[in-house]
Structure 1
Amino acid sequence: MVFIEGECINLGYVEDLRELVGQRPLIFVGAVVIIVNPDGKVLLQQRTHPYGVWGLPGGLMELGESTEEAARREVFEETGLRVGELNLINVYSGAENFVVAKNGDEFYVVVVAYYTTEYEGDLHVDLSESIKVEFFGREDIPTEMVGSHRKVLDEYWRKHENFLKER
């Protein structure tokens, strides 16, 4: 079991890698999605690990999966929603994405961030990963949030505002 950005991941692949390399740094690739409702609010999930911290739906790629496929799968698993067109916000990587887990495992995370206004399905909570999921307006975003996810949201809003001004 591995914790990535506060998310508990149980992947045989990751566990197999850890058996080979111990706690030395690894690189993981994941995807997050900003889901925007018709009122302009964004969907966040209150995570179980670390307890109570809010973040964007998303997670790690599995072998043979694209970042888009990982984003779609994770959103569905965590929220019950199926997303339509995914629009790239940015790719986040580098030294600031270095994490040391509580168990001493070290890793760098490359995060591909998307946004979408296209989704369908019945919103539900995956209690193994989340306490609740909820849409928030920009002014109501919780303070207890995964730091890198706040950075993604800030960039989304900055780009979105610039786009609206240019129209």
Structure 2
Amino acid sequence: MEYYKQIRKYVGHQPLILPGSNILILNAEGQVLLQEREPGIYGLPGGLMELGESFEDTAIREVLEETGLHIGALQLCNVYSGPD
């Protein structure tokens, strides 16, 4: 079971901080891989971190789960937080 679902049992509907990763995948022409999340809504592959994972591990796992693509080692580019 996903970590956030285990935590949700204890905190109910209280706000949670849920770290996650997204990954920017470019082809040889510089086009970005997007996935359709729901009709007409597109986003980058990614998802929530599981216990014991790094941000890079999370991105690699999520890309495999969501796209079937196997990607190599990654380097963290940036961390974004805050209201903006």
Letter in 1 for 2:61: R
Structure with greater Cα Rg = 1
Q: Tell me the matched-pair count.
A: 84
Q: Counterparts of 1:42 and 1:87 in 2: how far apart (Å)? A: 18
**Distance (whole Å) between structure 2 residues aligned to residue 64 and residue 87 of structure 1:** 17
- CA displacement, residues 87-146 of structure 1 (integer Å, 9 cap, x when unaligned): 4332111134xxxxxxxxxxxxxxxxxxxxxxxxxxxxxxxxxxxxxxxxxxxxxxxxxx
Corresponding letter in the other structure for 1:33: I
**Between the two proteins, what is the percent identity of the paired residues?**
56
Amino acid at match of 1:95: P
1:44 to 4, 26, 34: 34
Counterpart of 2:81 in structure 1: which amino acid?
Answer: S
Going by fraction, where is strand more abundant, 1 or 2?
A: 1
- Paired residue for 2:46, among 58, 74, 82? 58
Say yes or no: does 1:29 pair with 2:19.
yes
Q: What amino acid sits opposite 1:73 in the alignment?
A: R
Task: Give the gaps of 5 or more residues in structure 1.
Answer: 1-9, 97-167
Distance (whole Å) between structure 2 residues aligned to residue 87 and residue 64 of structure 1: 17
* Residue in 2 that maps onto 1:90: 78
Is residue 26 of structure 2 the alignment partner of residue 20 of structure 1?
A: no
Specify the SS of the correspondent of 1:54. Answer: strand
CA contact (8 A) 2:4 2:18 kept: no
Return the alpha-carbon distance in structure 2 between the equivalents of residues 73 and 87 of structure 1.
15
Q: Distance in 1 between matches of 2:73 and 2:26?
A: 12
Q: Gaps spanning 5+ residues in structure 2: where? A: none
Q: CA RMSD in A?
A: 1.7
1:80 CA displacement: 1.2
